[in-house]
Structure 1
Amino acid sequence: MSLRKNTLWNLLGSGAPFLLGAMTIPFLLNRAGVEIFGILTLVWVLIGYFSLFDFGLGRALTQTVAKKLAGGTKEEVSRIINLGLVMVLAAGVFGGVLLACTAFPLGMRWLSVSPELQHDVVISLLIASVGIPLTTLTSGLRGVLEAYEEFGNVNLLRVLLGLANFGMPAITVLIWGPMLEWMVASLVLSRFIVFLAHAYLVRQKTKFYWIKPKSHPEEVRGLLTFGSWMTLSNLISPLMVTADRFVISSVVGASLVAYYTVPFEVLIRFLILPAALTAALFPKLSALIAVDIAAAERLFKKSALLIAVVMLVICSVASVGSLWGMTLWLGQDFAEHSWRLASILAVGILFNSIAQVPHAAAQAAGNVKGTALVHLAEFFIYFPCLFIFVHNFGLIGAVVVWVMRAFIDMSLMFVLARIVFSGNKKGAIWAAK
């Protein structure tokens, strides 16, 4: 499939749910209230973040199954699929148990929830924990489908999940009113339905059966090795994107979270454009770096310039028009609390957008370790600064620190990309380790 078609499929998979979200978020905010909606956004983040408890096995399955399809037998393909799914299930159960064990302190103390909502939050987090194994299993099944190049089906299911993510809570509010437990239960039900759809499609490729990981140590080691550095980066990077709202809830209270998360969730959707391009760009860069480094560098520079120009226009409009847009969408009272945050966040979105191109280039060259170490270093700097700034400057402090981190991340990613294209021997050796 061409670069253009892959990009369009990725845009469809990420963009269609955003359109429904634009319609349902004002409804949920008005009917449920600022605090309940803020907690719902935290649950969205938790379910999405805990899906990373697949430990990179979804991506590892894509790579390993694709190799087996090219040169292995049908039995070998079936074995690696089922082995990987068993491992993903075990990882998902671990993540679900971890969330269940932390539900009580999260709801009662750590999120600074109003006393009348604390019990509801605990129950909702326990319900959300059931969705973690479903999410990780779906990640593994998606990896198998991508190995078979079923990109159309994968993105159609992504659209279905995204639509359900916004639509199902709105339906529960219409039926039962603003009850947090029903909203969260609808999210888990959505993930169960999407899981069944993925399983049905994979079942067309192979049969399912139980397999003991300890009976295939070499293949287990291969899957885990491939996903190890990717997992570190995948765990840390989303945490730095979303953990600020948990810090805000803990330091200044859950009642203010929505003023931050709503503009953030809108602006973060702008990243679907660079993400769609870099997802399609990744395999092309991987091939060119191996055979024609000059052509790879030209493609890299062209892509980076394209993203920079397009996103500069989009983010400038978002920053300048934030007050008008938030007022039109959510009303004057909400806009007064959030438009300044949106204006500053738009600058960070620009940095984050541009950074995706050198990030893709570094990983295309095999430097997954480099990007993971960059994110690890950022992690230890970002969180102390986040607590200090939120404590002293409130929501504005959180926004400023996030933008600063995005700028530093962009700069370091360009350093890694420069190592790739400069032909630096030391950098190449380091990247291969």
Structure 2
Amino acid sequence: MIKKNILWSFLSGVLPLLVGVFIFPLIVHAYGTERFGILAISWALVGYFSLFDMGLSRALTQVISDRVAKKLDETETVEITFTAFRIMWCLGVLGGAALWVIAPWLVNKILSDASVIKQETITLFTIVSVSIPFVVHTAALRGVMEALHLFKQASLIRLVLGMGTFLGPYIATFYSSSLEYAALALVLVRLVGWLLHLYVVRNSNFLKNKSSKFNYKWLRQLLAFGGWMSVSNVIGPLMVYLDRFLIAALLGASAVSYYVAPYEVVTKLWLIPASFTGVLFPIFAKEWEVNPSVAANILNKGIVYVLILLYPAVLIISIFSNEWLSLWLGTEFSLNGSNLVRWLSAGVLVNAVTQILFAKIQGAGRADWTAKLHLAELVPYWIFLWVALKLFGLQGAALAWFLRVTVDAVGMAYAVGKLNTLNYARIKMPMLALSVGLIPILLPILVENYIFRFSLIIITGLIYGFIVWKRLVKDGLSIKELKRL
């Protein structure tokens, strides 16, 4: 069942990735680099303001999973769910209103260079703000679906949303290249996603013929877990999306396009660790204390198989960044983004492992640890990002991001070891392999020679193949079993 759930989650990310690779050049061409840069920032805004759920969606997953496993009163469980739903609607409305209010300030103060399309940009942000309440409530509905292990349905809906995020703005260009139509398309996609989630949850046996009463007494239980998690949920994306705003402020909106286009492709590889974390989080929550050895082994396998699946793609994307960027978006993007892609690729690999560690820590109920780590990183990252942009331009933004996610990984590894020494023993070798594996990913930054890069990928590929083969033999996985995954 775990393998099937991971597979469904993985497949729901592959098709949007393929659609994005095909559609991205068409979107850039249709809107132009400046408008596309603004559109990319609107994607970031939706992603950030959706975290007005204050950690309640993940808290809901944990609470429901725990109560279902212990066969506690079903009416009370549903009551907790509807209490969370109502609170998250309020939080979503608050987030949407906040974005509506600050939209003119964002354009006039931070994106002042976009004066030619200033009103169009304000309208874009204003329209997009309408989707925030639906996005936040969608997170709550998805939390329920994950707790009930409805991963197949959740994955199919995620597939629709993922493709719609790219197809919506592109289809809108058939009517006009104005950002207003792109905003309407994005809102429509989010609304469809919300309706699909609502349909699945409403038609599950979980909510049938049970109380939909709102009860304040359950808020404390939800917020006890969600409070610290919300700190990570707010600060984490703030560090992720901050670079785009600083790039726009320091280098111009067009520069955002050169950064975001490769970023959106490279980070789509996160669909692999995301496929694991959504499934493993409830397992970690259940097993970390009762069966620490089992939980430590699952942690090890989660990290190892994320590295096995992700590393070849990251290596090829990095070593041949010049070639695929030039073929995909043209010479200008290749000149501006080849080394940038290499830093981003290395960061994606590091962060993929961090996501598994993150799921283990939060599954153990220690959301305060991850929140405190993110708080400690925030200001130093802001300062370093600003300095790196000033000194190295776009490549500086990617370098700063890579260093930040590396610090994050080290901190998470230390925290996992604090939970149980068994965890440290089981992650030691995968973390060492990760560190060594970063070397061939980053080497092309120093040596651009084509023969060197081609030799590098052959040598690294042979070493990778040997290590993976030994691991699969150790785990007793045959080729036939791998195909069934």
User: How far off its partner does 1:285 sit?
Assistant: 3.6
**1:341: which partner in 2?**
340
Question: Match for residue 457 of structure 2?
Answer: none
Q: TM-score normalised to the size of structure 2? A: 0.81
- Gap change, CA 1:212 and 1:287, over 3 Å in 2: closer
Please state how far the C-alpha of 1:385 moved relative to its aligned partner: 1.1
- State the secondary structure of the residue aligned to 1:88: helix
Contact 1:82 1:209 in 2 (8 A): no
Q: Deviations over 1:241-263 (max 9, x none)?
A: 22211111111111110000111
Change (3 A) 1:73 1:296: closer
Partner residue, 1:318: 317
Q: Which residue of 1 aligns with 2:225?
A: 226
2: CA distance, partners of 1:223 / 1:301: 29
Which residue of 2 is the match for residue 20 of structure 1?
19
Per-residue deviation, 1:403: 1.0
Q: 1:242 corresponds to which residue?
A: 241
Please give the per-residue CA displacement for 1:134-162, whole angstroms capped at 9, x wherever unaligned.
Answer: 11111112222233322211111111111
Residue range with higher mean Cα deviation, 39-48 or 199-208: 199-208
Q: Secondary structure at the match of 1:290?
A: coil
Equivalent position amino acid for 1:114 in 2: A
Q: Find the counterpart in structure 1 of residue 482 from structure 2.
A: none
Given that 1:112 and 1:254 are in contact with CA atoms closer than 8 Å, whether structure 2 keeps it comes out as no
Cα distance in 2, alignment partners of residues 51 and 222 from structure 1: 22
Residue identity opposite 1:115 in structure 2 = S
Query: CA–CA distance in 1 between the matches of 2:311 and 2:422?
Result: 30
Q: Distance in 1 between matches of 2:222 and 2:303?
A: 32
CA contact (8 A) 2:147 2:282 kept: no
- Contact 2:79–2:211, Cα closer than 8 Å, also in 1: no
SS at match of 1:291: coil
Report deviation, 1:286: 3.9
Q: C-alpha separation between the residues in 2 aligned to 1:192 and 1:423? A: 45
The answer to whether the Cα contact below 8 Å between 1:20 and 1:166 also exists between their aligned partners in 2 is: yes
Mapped contact 2:236–2:374 kept (Cα < 8 A): yes
Identity %: 35
Residues 208 and 258 of structure 1, relative CA distance in 2, 3 Å threshold: farther
Aligned to 1:185: 184
Q: What amino acid is the match of 2:102?
A: T
Secondary structure of 1:33 counterpart: helix
Paired position in structure 1 for 2:101? 101
Q: 1:61-80 residue pairs with structure 2 within 5 A?
A: 61-69=60-68, 71-73=71-73, 75-80=75-80
Unaligned runs of 5+ in 2: 424-485
1:195-251 deviations in Å (ceiling 9; x for gaps):
1222222222437999886xx332122222221111111111122222211111111
Change in 2 beyond 3 A, CA 1:422/1:147? closer
Within 2, Cα distance between the matches of 1:303 and 1:197? Answer: 30
Paired residues in the alignment total 420
Return the alpha-carbon distance in structure 2 between the equivalents of residues 12 and 349 of structure 1: 19
Aligned residue number for residue 31 of structure 2: 32
What amino acid is the match of 1:190?
A: V
Q: Quick check: 219-228 or 294-303, which moved more?
A: 294-303
Pair 244,153 (structure 1): closer, same or farther in 2 beyond 3 Å:
same
Within-5 A mapping of 1:148-159: 148-159=148-159
Question: Contact between 1:82 and 1:208, CA under 8 Å: does it hold in 2?
Answer: no
Describe the SS at the equivalent of 2:112: coil
Which TM-score applies when normalising by structure 1? 0.91
> Aligned residue for 2:277?
278
Question: What one-letter code is carried by the residue in structure 1 that aligns with 2:269?
Answer: F
